[in-house]
Amino acid sequence: MKDQLKLSALMRLHWRWWLLSLTLGALTLGSVMGLLAVSGWFITAAAVAGLQFVGAGTFNYFSPGALIRFFAISRTASRYFERLSSHQAVLLLLQQLRLWFMQRFLASSFKPDTQSADLLQRLITDIDRLDQWPLRVVAPVFWACLLSAGWLTALWFWQAELAQIALVYLLVLLFVPVLGVALGYSRACTLVELASERRQELLEPLSALTMLQLHQGWSAAEQQWQHTEHQYQALLWRQQLLDLFCQFLLFSAIALMSFHLLVTALPLVQNQQISIAALVAMLMSALALPEIWLPLATLYRHLADSKMAKRRLNQIQPATENGSYSTVTEPLQLELQQLSVGYPGAMQHTLPLSISLKAGDLLWLQGPSGVGKSTFLSTLAGWLQPLSGRVLLNGTDLQLYTACTQRQHISLQSQHVSLFNMTLAANLRLAKAEASDEELQQVLADTQLSEWVGSLPQGLDTELGEYGVAVSGGQARRIALARLLLQNAGILLLDEPLVGLDPTTAQQLIHNLRLRCRQHILIMTSHQPFAADTNCYQLQLKVL
């Protein structure tokens, strides 16, 4: 599908940073190889010159010494700047991944399972694992092939006979990571899945430890976790053995190649076709090959990690082809019947609440911090199961709707808003990609931002900075609210939307929302009561 996550497409957006990182990495490894080769030649040539009682004036100490210093400085400097450039490239990739996830979340059938202890850790781990593909798969393969080809080419021009021998061993080296993928790739994928299962099987029973012990269910949960743990440790041990086996093959192949080259080159030295110093330089340069090829011993693991992470993130599918929500075509009715909410295992929950809302109504939920306002909205959004009672949407239990239908009818803005290092217009169009500038200006006017946008030199093209650092907290909330309004969902759930606003701006914002959402149901939470309104319901949330 065209909406599937493609790392190559995200990396192309900042290809210059990746190219710089690959170039500097190759320069680093090339400097290591050059440093070993020149050092070996210099020490051996100096020793031979001393044995032959050659005068100091006939042996040039300065040029090789300068070349050694050049390679040493080049290795250090290129490694330093390679780290900087690769970190910058990875941070830009993570920024694009964060943006991709937000786009899928705003227009997706994805329903967060807040009861799962694995959800947040899985999302963080999956996004974090994706940078292993460019750093631990693409880059090591590129460096190994490039530098080995360069070393082989130089060897070919120096002594074609030796290059033919080296070519055979380099093909063997290339076979080792292929063998690792063939033997360990599927096992590594299974290991990633088991790691997620063992975490979930450990944390979720711990959250309900008391109830499991009272109902004698802890023993079964413990046995299940131990079974998964045993499978995990057995697979991990086999994976570590495969890592050692691949590393042994790589070291053995390079050692055999060096010995074979030495045996083949000794007659050439005796026939004075090559010098002893050149032979040592060639063997010393071969000592850099383990540093180049050793990261490929665990190539299969990083391939599996990135594949599994990509597969789980790709489960977030767009609700419609263009990634936007459909327009509300029927009046909605929301009925709460003795609804009590709370997180499973929490010490408190809200008192039962009943109310019936229709299009155009505003429900104002008031209560102090910790009373459960955010939990209440999460339940109405379908993200949590009610502890008791029911939520009916047009007469049907909310839990019977598909996640896609819920996302089309219900939109929730939490207290923590997400803005991205893009223009104001681009941030808004995350919710509606085809929105015109006129639509954006109108929704900004409805959220009391038109005067502020008009004062900006670049208007809609103003960059907001990473995490919206270029705007205030109140402006960030209203920009996120404007983005929410563009989704045109029938039920809007706003968690503390007036925080950071002065009373006049807050009252005008509510007035604009009532005008814009005449065919919608508005539910807001706040610490403060709201002025009386003929069409406004005010409820005080209380806990038991």
For the segment 101-132, what is each residue's pLDDT rounded down to a tens digit?
A: 766 665 544 444 434 444 555 566 777 777 78
DSSP state, residue 198:
H
**Which DSSP string corresponds to 74-111?**
HHHHHHHHHHHHHHHHHHHHHHHHHHHHHHHHHTB---
Residue type, 398: L
Higher pLDDT, 176 or 361: 176
> What pairs with residue 353 in β-bridges?
339
Residues 6 or more apart whose CB falls under 8 angstroms from that of 136 comprise: 295, 298, 299, 302
Strand, helix or coil at 501?
coil
Q: Mean pLDDT check: name the lowest of 219-223, 343-347, 404-408.
A: 404-408
Where is average pLDDT lowest: 270-274, 393-397, 434-438? 393-397
φ, ψ for residue 362 (rounded to 5)?
-125, 125
Q: Give the pLDDT confidence score for residue 327 in this predicted structure.
A: 42
Beta bridge partners of 412: 493
Mean pLDDT over 176-201 rounds to: 87
Q: What percent of the chain has pLDDT over 90?
A: 26
For 37-89, the pLDDT digits (tens) are: 999 898 888 887 777 655 445 667 778 888 999 999 999 999 999 999 988 88
Put residue 345 in one of left, alpha, beta given phi > 0 → left and psi -120 to 50 → alpha: left
Range with lowest mean pLDDT among 69-73, 356-360, 533-537, 538-542? 533-537
Looking at CATH, the fold of the domain delimited by 333-540 is given as Rossmann fold (3.40.50)
CATH of domain 7-313: 1.20.1560.10
Q: Is the pLDDT reported for residue 195 higher than 50? A: yes
Q: How do beta strands 353-358 and 333-340 pair?
A: antiparallel
Q: What is the pLDDT of residue 104?
A: 64
Instruction: Assess contact for 337 and 132: CB atoms under 8 A.
Output: no
H helices present in 208-217, as ranges? 209-214
Asked whether the beta carbons of 138 and 11 are under 8 A apart, the reply is no
Q: Which of 211-220, 410-419, 459-468 has the lowest average pLDDT?
A: 211-220
| Main-chain dihedrals φ then ψ at residue 412, nearest 5 degrees | -120, 130
- The predicted model scores a pTM of 0.67
Check pLDDT > 80 for residue 319. no
The CA distance from 355 to 530, in Å, is: 18
158 has a pLDDT exceeding 60: yes
The domains of the chain are located at 7-313, 333-540
Question: Residue 412 and residue 491: Cα distance in Å, rounded?
Answer: 9
Q: Please report, as a single letter, which amino acid is at residue 280.
A: V
Say if residue 1's pLDDT is above 60. no
> Could you tell me what percentage of the chain is helix, strand and coil, using 3-state DSSP and rounding each to the nearest 5?
65, 10, 25
Q: What is the pLDDT of residue 363?
A: 86
Question: Which tokens hold the place of 321?
Answer: 């082809």
Asked if the model's pLDDT at residue 210 lies above 70, the reply is no
Q: Is the pLDDT of residue 538 over 80?
A: no
**Whole-number pLDDT of residue 116:** 43
What pLDDT is recorded for position 544?
A: 65
Alpha helices, H only, 295-386 = 299-313, 373-380
How confident is the model at residue 397, as a pLDDT?
78
Residue with the bigger pLDDT between 462 and 121: it is 462
Q: How confident is the model at residue 349 (pLDDT cuts 50, 70, 90)?
A: confident
Q: Identify whether the C-beta of residue 423 lies closer than 8 Å to the C-beta of residue 430.
A: no
Torsion 228-234-235-240 (CA) sign: positive
pLDDT of residue 84: 93
As a whole number, the mean pLDDT across the chain is 80
* 350 band by pLDDT with thresholds 50, 70 and 90: confident
Residue 232 vs residues 192, 225, 297, 471: alpha-carbon distances, Å = 9, 10, 21, 47
Q: Band the pLDDT of 383: cuts 50, 70, 90.
A: confident
